[in-house]
């Protein structure tokens, strides 16, 4: 099972890429994709298509396209559900203090990270962010 995580522009600008990655990799999840990129308005709108009727949609697209993001594909047991727990609630003030959002931010509109919310959405988002497919990351034993 795999999921898509995105470190949003504020997470990148605040220098939180390494501590965020560390949370997932030290838990035991496997890296299958990693990209540092600027997101087009079209790409951001496709990613958040489900929220297009929300009043905050315009601001959300502006936020996600305001600077480079890091897109991450992670694989492992129950990774979709577990990554959401590690990330914490959408509103950082309601997030468990031990979660990423609980530890690093305070504004719902600047909540530093995204994680796919269902297995079905994870598949769609992985296809959107990693259309070339995921990287084989089977451990190799060197002698």
Establish whether 8 is an annotated binding residue.
yes
User: Binding residues for ligand RTP, per CB under 6 A?
Assistant: 51, 56, 60, 90, 108-109, 111, 114-115, 117
Tell me the backbone φ, ψ of residue 88, rounded to 5 degrees: 95, 175
Establish whether 35 is an annotated binding residue.
no
Cα distances from 116 to residues 84, 139, 142, in angstroms, run 7, 25, 34
114 belongs to the catalytic site: yes
Segments in 2-111 forming alpha helices (H): 9-13, 17-27, 41-47, 57-64, 79-87, 100-104
Q: At closest approach, how far in Å is the CB of 140 from ligand RTP?
A: 33
Question: Which among 9, 24, 72, 114 is annotated as catalytic?
Answer: 114
Q: At closest approach, how far in Å is the CB of 138 from ligand RTP?
A: 28
Q: Quick one: how far is CA 108 from the chain centroid? A: 15
**Annotated binding residues for ATP, as ranges?**
8, 56, 84, 90, 101, 111
Q: Which residues are catalytic?
A: 114
């Amino acid at each position: 099972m795999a999921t898509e995580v995105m470190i949003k522009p504020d997470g990148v600008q605040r220098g939180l890429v390494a501590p965020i990655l560390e949370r997932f990799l030290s838990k035991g999840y496997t890296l299958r994709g990693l990209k540092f990129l600027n997101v087009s308005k079209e790409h951001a709108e496709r990613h958040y298509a489900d929220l297009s009727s929300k009043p905050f949609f315009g601001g959300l697209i502006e936020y996600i396209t305001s600077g480079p993001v890091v897109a991450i594909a992670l694989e492992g047991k129950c990774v979709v559900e577990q990554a959401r727990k590690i990330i914490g609630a959408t509103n950082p003030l309601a997030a468990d203090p031990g979660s990423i959002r609980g530890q690093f931010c305070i504004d719902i509109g600047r909540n530093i990270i995204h994680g796919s919310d269902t297995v079905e959405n994870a598949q769609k988002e992985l296809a959107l962010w990693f259309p070339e497919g995921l990287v084989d990351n089977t451990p190799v034993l060197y002698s």
